[in-house]
Structures are given as C-alpha cells and as structure tokens.
Structure 1
C-alpha cells in the first residue's frame, strides 16, 4: 500500500510539473482590461484580438500555459454563458472560446468595416454572414447593454465545430490552439511545448488523451477509497457502548468527513486545472464531484449539529437521553435543517436550477409531508413544549392518564413508563393531556393508626416524637428526611377507636423505605408502652342463669355458641 501511495504521488507531481514548467513568463500589459463590447464590431474585434494575443504567447519559445489564461478569459468574456450552470460556466467558457475561434479560422472573418459599430445605428443583434453565429444586445442582468455572442451560439458551438473541423484553415488565422488545449495539461496553452510532446501522449479516446483517462481513473479510485474509513467510523459511532466513547468516535467521524471534503475539493481542482478535461467528460466529472462535495457538506453539517449537542451537554453535565439533551437535539435539528435547506438551494443554483423553483418544490413537498404526518408533527411539537416546561425527567415517577411508573426513556416523539410490576407504557406526547409528577423537590407522607378510646393522646405524641428524633439521628435515614416524623394529634373517631395521625417530609423516592421503617418502629414503641391497636370486638351479654334451673355447663356453652353464630359473618 505504501508503494501504491508513493507511485500515485509521483504521478500527480509529474503532471503538476508539466502543467507549470519553470519557464520565463510573458509580460501582460493591463491584465484586468475587459473586452470592448459596446457594439457587434467591438465585440468581434475584441475576440479576435484576444485570440491573436493567445496565439502570439502560445507560440513563443519561452511560453508557459498559464501565460495565456488572461487573454483566453478576455476572449471568453465576449460570450454570453448565462445559459450554462454556474458549476461548469468558468471551465466551459474557455473551451467555447477556443471552438468559436476554430470555427472562425475555417470559415473566415467578415470585413470588419461591414460589421455594425458605435458610429452607425446599432441593431438588437447581428449575425455573421452565412452562419448561425450571432452577436446580440443583452437586455438584463449584470452585463446589460453589452453586445455578446449569444448563449444559443455558445450552446451550439460544439455542433458548429464538428461541422467544420475537417475544413482547411483560412489565411491569417490562429491554427492548432484547440488541439493543443485538448492534449496538454494545466491551464492555458503552450503550443511550442505541446508540439514537442511524444505522439503517444496525444492519442485520444472519446476526446480525451490516454494519460488524462489514467489520471481520472486514479482520482476516481482515491475518491471511492475515501469512503472506506468514512463507513468504518460511522459504524463505530453506532456501535459505541458508552457516552464518552460515542462522543470520541463522533469527533473522529467529523474529522474523517472533513478530510474527505478537502480531498474532493482538491480532486476537482486537479481535474480542472491540471488534467484539463474537456467536453462532455469534463461536465460529467465536474457535476459528479460537485454533487459529492455538497453531500459531504450536508453530512458534515449533520455531524456538526450532533457535536454541538455533545459539547453543550458535556459542559452542562447533562445525562444522555435526558430532557435537556433531547431539547438541545430538537434545536440542533432545526438549525441543521435550515443549513441543509440553504445548502440544497445553493447546490440547485450551482447546477442550473432556479432558486424559486427549488424553494417551491421543497415547500410543496413539506406541505405534503405535513399533511401525511400530522400525528407525528403533533407528537414532536408537543414533546418540545413538555421538554421546555421540564414536566418530567428520566427516572422520575409520574402518572399520565391511567398509566403510572418511572420514566425510563424520553425520545423525540414519545416517552416510556416502567410500571413497578414490569410493564412498559409507551405514550406519544400528542396524547398527553396531563402529567402528574411525584418526584419533584419533596414528598409528604401521612400515617394513620387506630387505638382504643382510652389511650392517652399525649403518650402517643411523645412516642411519635421519640421515633422521629431517633430516625433523624440514624445515619441510614437522616439524609433522606427534610422534616422529621411528628404527631398531628387525633384525626378522627370511628366505631372501634380513635384515629391518630403522624407525618414526615422526605426526598422523592425515599418515602417508601422510610414509611416501612416508621411503621415497624411505631409497632415496637406501642408494644413497649402497652398501647394496643384498636380492633373490632364482639361482646355477648348473657342473662343471669340460676344454678337452680338445673342447666349443665355443656348446655350453657352451647347457648353461648348459638349466640355467637347469630352474628353476621365478616367478609
């Protein structure tokens, strides 16, 4: 694998050196001078002058390709390229100018004195005699008021070139520029240097040289291979076992995607500036790399949103799947969605689709999705407001409708309650009308005991106080209390005794353990003090029976048993 990378590196280094030979640069006067486009004559003359300048520079012994870039762009500036998508407009404009030059070199230029100029009445458009090549006035846009070769001419120039490519050159022309541009690497044209290249380097297949196809294959291989680490690290994020491990792997995923984006941008530059593909092959490769670039950008935006959630939750000390983290997730989804929307609009414009059509299409699609997923949207929006209100948190004991249990899971659309018997209730947020939370701040528990009427309430109050003080002093329970156990006095009288009540305040979740302990200690204290718990009793009053009646003991016991049997049974 090391030898492969080394060979690829040497191959690209050679191409880069070929594209920028260290030869003397040509002096270019007024490099920012725009072409004169105030009339059809001025436009045609500017184009011819620019191509003549390219030919003079390209045929020089010390010329290098980059020296011809400025006059080539000046010639291309006389062509209306507005019909071409922005992604390929710049690279295609030079190729259009060279093919237009090839066509004019073969059919011959008209007498410039016959071309409408600023000194005469200017028409809306003018066509080169006996050709469909037209120069027209631009009515709108940033180049309004200029005469340019029409966009229709630019779109059809390849067809025109194919029709005349086998014709001989006319006199006073600039021959061989387009052929040199096709077969040499790097921007611009170095005609003398191109002529010295070996014949094998000029052989073509589908309008590209063999070395260009080789370079394109190597680049495509690198682009495909970059997805191996991307997919590997993405799977590792999904398989993370701990929260910290997931965050670390997500950071690695972000850096891997960022590296892939840099490689894709570098590949696009290398193909355009060094390999110098042309024609339909260049358009296809440019679109493919641009699409990949936007996909990687969208992926990076999504991962960056997750990283922001990780960072904020780590700084704030929030637990994974907590309400705060989920609320941050929803906010990040909204922000990421806006970024992705802007990215889609930008990509559409780069590919030649009007922004308004993209926005309209997305709007119609959003309405369709919204109508088809009303329940889902309602659940998500309801969940956002529940999370903002902090109505419940993971681990809390709540009641939602008829369901009760501990909050086991909080998602974007629903919550899960674990009943104490093990059942799990999944409740969509949109169906929640009321939430009762039993786990917030504090809990007051009241305990009632029924004792006989003759029991002294003051004695019971003293016992409750002793029990409360003992439990507050017990390390196993002291931290759970907010207020100690104390007596509330006699609460009620019923048919078997008087009801005394005590209460205590504790932290949520601790009340069940403390209540069980308190009941055991109250029982022990009552037993020690000789206080009985009241219970229902049945008393049977028997009439006095004189021994003279002659009833035996067995008869008396039978009478008692009969009286007891007459009492209604308890169920």
Structure 2
C-alpha cells in the first residue's frame, strides 16, 4: 500500500513538472550550461593557438638564439596557462549564476582570497607562488634537461601550477610547482664525458694510456660536440682483477652521453687491435689438504 502511494506521488510530481512547464526552465538551464562549457573550450583552444602563433612569430626574428627560444617557449606556456585559468574561472562564475548562486555577493563579502581558502586551495596558492619564483629566478626553461627529485627528463611546459617533464621513454611527469624543492639543470653549462676502461694487471699501463690518448684525440678532431681537448687522468682504481684508467672529455650540454658511448667503442676496438684484452673476474681457491 505504501509502495503504491510512493509511485502515485512520483507520477503526480512528474505530471506537474510537465504541466507547469518546469521542464522548459530546467532544460533551458542545462542547455545554457552546456553552451557555456562548449564556448569556454573553444575560446581556450583558439586563445592557445593565437598565443602560440604570436610567440612563434616573435622567435622567428632571431632563429639561432637558443636561450631566447627557451625563454620564449617558457613564457608562451605560462601565458597559455594563465589564459586557461581565467576563462575557466569566468565560466564557473557564469554557470553558478545560471544555477541561482549570487556570485557577486560571494565575491564582495568573502573576496577572491577568502574564496580560495574556503575551497581548500592553499596548495594551489603555494604552487603558483613557487611557479613565479621558478620563472623569476630562471631556474629552468622549456627544453632544458633537468632532474627534479627522482624524475629526470626534458621540460615540456611550465605552468602557473605544474611543471611537465618528458622522461627518456616518452612518459610525461606532471609535478606541482609547490613540491619542487631541488632542481639539477644539465642544460646551462658544458657537460663532462667520463670514460673508464679496465685492463688486467699484466697489461702495460703506459701503453694502455697512450692508446686511450691517441683514440680520444683522433675522435675529438673536427667534432663540434667537444669543447676541450680530451684528458686521460690515469689509474683511478685497483680492483680485484682489473686496473681502471679514466679519460674525460668536456662537451656541449647533454652531448656527453653520445661521446661516452662512441669513445668506449673506439677504445675497445683499439685495445683489441693492440692485443690488450679486457680483464675477466678471477677467483682464487685455496685448498688446505691436511692429510
């Protein structure tokens, strides 16, 4: 009996909803909200494209200035981020107005700062302030290779709230600016290639050093990635079954990995050509036979 009454009440409510034309009012509000959301997305997309064109045109004036290009890309990312947040904020205010919320009185009485705190946005404020300091101090820019915490990669975007870093495997890491406390930037100064080669204890060390020097110097000739003459420092370690000889080469930023790989290959080939074999682990077993 009670179940039947509930159903009848629901049917009555639905009938009144359509008879009084309330569905037109509700449907109109939903349609307006959808239009506002759609228009906001369009404005953001068009705005981001216009900002990109403006900054790309600016950098085309000095196409060979890498530092200017990095800063240009960073500012472009920041302006796009600001524009996106502003459009979303305005759209939310308009939608709240359509729902009957008195946004003007809220802003007048609480203020934007109080509204942010009321929504628990302390972390957001921290992210934005840290983001401005990152840009003001020029800690890193778009295109730089950095390590932040345990994440290493190329800076793809610096926004008001987050920094986006692309890792070696193409993964995109999104880091809130407020969580960035330590940054290592590998793109601001020349890099150092370190090449360690191992030889056995019965190998002539002087001969091995000479081969490494000749190989490194020959490789450095005409190589634009190398900025200083290679150096063979000498013995850096006596291992259980090996002697380690180290060479270093100063390169342009981020070019040291390729130089290290190529020199290891060339030095190994030179060792093979001169009869110097790479040492193998040796285990000594002492058998005490008391009988």
- TM norm structure 2: 0.64
Tell me by how many angstroms 1:379 deviates: 0.7
Counterpart in the other structure of 2:37: none
2:70, 2:141 within 8 Å by CA — same for their partners in 1? no
Tell me by how many angstroms 1:330 deviates: 8.9
Counterpart in the other structure of 1:451: 199
The structure that is strand-richer by fraction is 2
Tell me by how many angstroms 1:319 deviates: 5.5
Tell me by how many angstroms 1:361 deviates: 5.8
In the aligned structure 1, how far is the partner of 2:126 from the partner of 2:51?
32
Larger relative contact order, structure 1 or 2 (CA cutoff 8 Å, min sep 6): 2
Tell me by how many angstroms 1:473 deviates: 1.9
Counterpart in the other structure of 2:190: 442
In the aligned structure 1, how far is the partner of 2:237 from the partner of 2:198?
9
In the aligned structure 1, how far is the partner of 2:225 from the partner of 2:263?
13
Tell me by how many angstroms 1:321 deviates: 6.7
1:323 to 71, 74, 86: 74
Tell me by how many angstroms 1:502 deviates: 0.9
Counterpart in the other structure of 2:46: 237
2:235, 2:244 within 8 Å by CA — same for their partners in 1? yes
1:326, 1:411 within 8 Å by CA — same for their partners in 2? yes
In the aligned structure 1, how far is the partner of 2:184 from the partner of 2:153?
11
Secondary structure, aligned partner of 2:258: helix
In the aligned structure 2, how far is the partner of 1:380 from the partner of 1:469?
49
In the aligned structure 2, how far is the partner of 1:313 from the partner of 1:368?
40
* Higher Rg: 1
Counterpart in the other structure of 2:36: none
In the aligned structure 2, how far is the partner of 1:461 from the partner of 1:398?
34
| Correspondences of 1:397-408 after superposition (within 5 Å) | 397-408=145-156
2:82, 2:160 within 8 Å by CA — same for their partners in 1? no
Counterpart in the other structure of 1:482: 227
In the aligned structure 2, how far is the partner of 1:363 from the partner of 1:529?
84
Secondary structure, aligned partner of 2:270: helix
Distance 1:310 1:496, change over 3 A: closer
Distance 1:524 1:311, change over 3 A: closer
2:44, 2:83 within 8 Å by CA — same for their partners in 1? no
Secondary structure, aligned partner of 2:229: strand
Counterpart in the other structure of 1:510: 255
2:143, 2:156 within 8 Å by CA — same for their partners in 1? yes
| Correspondences of 1:222-371 after superposition (within 5 Å) | 237-238=46-47, 240=49, 243-244=52-53, 247=54, 318=69, 322-325=73-76, 362=108, 364-371=110-117
Counterpart in the other structure of 1:416: 164
Counterpart in the other structure of 1:519: 264
Tell me by how many angstroms 1:522 deviates: 0.5
Higher deviation after alignment, 378-387 or 313-322: 313-322
Where does structure 2 lack aligned partners over 5 or more consecutive residues?
A: 1-39, 63-67, 87-103
Over the aligned positions, Cα root-mean-square deviation in angstroms equals 3.8
Distance 1:527 1:381, change over 3 A: same
Distance 1:424 1:375, change over 3 A: same
2:77, 2:157 within 8 Å by CA — same for their partners in 1? no
Counterpart in the other structure of 1:462: 210
In the aligned structure 2, how far is the partner of 1:239 from the partner of 1:328?
9
In the aligned structure 1, how far is the partner of 2:266 from the partner of 2:56?
48
In the aligned structure 2, how far is the partner of 1:400 from the partner of 1:236?
30
2:209, 2:245 within 8 Å by CA — same for their partners in 1? no
Tell me by how many angstroms 1:368 deviates: 1.6
Q: How many pairs are equivalent?
A: 223
Distance 1:363 1:320, change over 3 A: farther
In the aligned structure 2, how far is the partner of 1:413 from the partner of 1:454?
60
1:376 to 118, 124, 130: 124
Tell me by how many angstroms 1:445 deviates: 2.3
Tell me by how many angstroms 1:482 deviates: 1.5
The Cα offsets for residues 96-135 of structure 1, whole Å up to 9 and x where unpaired, read as xxxxxxxxxxxxxxxxxxxxxxxxxxxxxxxxxxxxxxxx
1:326, 1:412 within 8 Å by CA — same for their partners in 2? no
